[in-house]
Amino acid sequence: MAADADLILASASARRRDLLRSAGITFEVQPSDVPEDAGADESPIDFARRVARDKALQVAAQRRGRGDTRPVLGADTIVVIDDLTIGKPRDRNHARQMLERLSSRTHRVVTAVCVILADGAEVRRTVTTEVTFGALDPAEIERYLDRADWRDKAGAYAVQEHAAYMVREVRGSYTNVVGLPLCETIEALRDAGLCALRDGGPHA
């Protein structure tokens, strides 16, 4: 992205990039390499909040070391069912197990957002959306795993891609399920003093 962009996105997610662009936000990408492992006594929401914050802090520290004080946006999305955090699948078998668990049930998609400002101040949001899946038979799951890019996706699915037909109902923010709750992210950027309406749309 442009070196003169006002915001740094601490994520490699193409979905988050597309959502920010759709809102007219200008940004530069620098992914973090923060481990995404939950602590033994960490709740799913606390886990997502910590990882989002750690991503933003890591990239902000790297940038500050080079004299770059631009704000940094970190985010983390997880799937929660039976009070268990479902992250990204390790392999095809793990992805299959995830989809079998989600079949015919309602789960929660939680995204935590954290903006780190030049003075170290933080603006955070956490958004939860309920998603209900239709019934998935074993053969259907195998066909999906054959043709879809389920890797690097929480819950092994992307609602905006091949998995759209699996979803019976979404209650809450749709963009949250895609990977970034756009309305709440724009609100966080505004609260951080980064976002103003110009030329008919929001820009960082």
pLDDT single digits (tens) 145-155: 998 888 888 89
What is the average pLDDT across 180-192?
A: 93
Structural domains of the chain ordered from first start: 7-203 (3.90.950.10)
- Position 199 scores a pLDDT of 43
End-to-end CA distance of the chain: 13
Residue 198 has pLDDT above 60, yes or no: no
- Position 201 scores a pLDDT of 52
Instruction: Provide the sign of the torsion angle of the four alpha carbons 9, 14, 19, 20, taken in this order.
Output: positive
Cβ-in-10-Å burial (0-12, 13-18, 19+) of 53 comes to: buried
Q: Provide the 10 A C-beta neighbour count for residue 136.
A: 16
- Position 35 scores a pLDDT of 82
Say if residues 135 and 166 touch (Cβ distance below 8 Å).
Answer: no
Catalytic residues, by residue number, are: 76
Give the model confidence (pLDDT) of 21-30 as tens digits. 999 899 999 9
- Position 41 scores a pLDDT of 83
Averaged pLDDT of the chain: 90
What is the average pLDDT across 131-135?
A: 97
What is the average pLDDT across 30-42?
A: 83
- H/E stretch holding 45: helix 44-64
Report CA-CA distances (Å) from 172 to 5, 11, 166, 192. Answer: 30, 23, 17, 24
- Position 86 scores a pLDDT of 87
- Position 3 scores a pLDDT of 53
Report the alpha-carbon angle 133-11-196, nearest 5.
95
Residue 133 has pLDDT above 80, yes or no: yes
- Position 59 scores a pLDDT of 97
Q: Is pLDDT larger for residue 173 or for residue 2?
A: 173
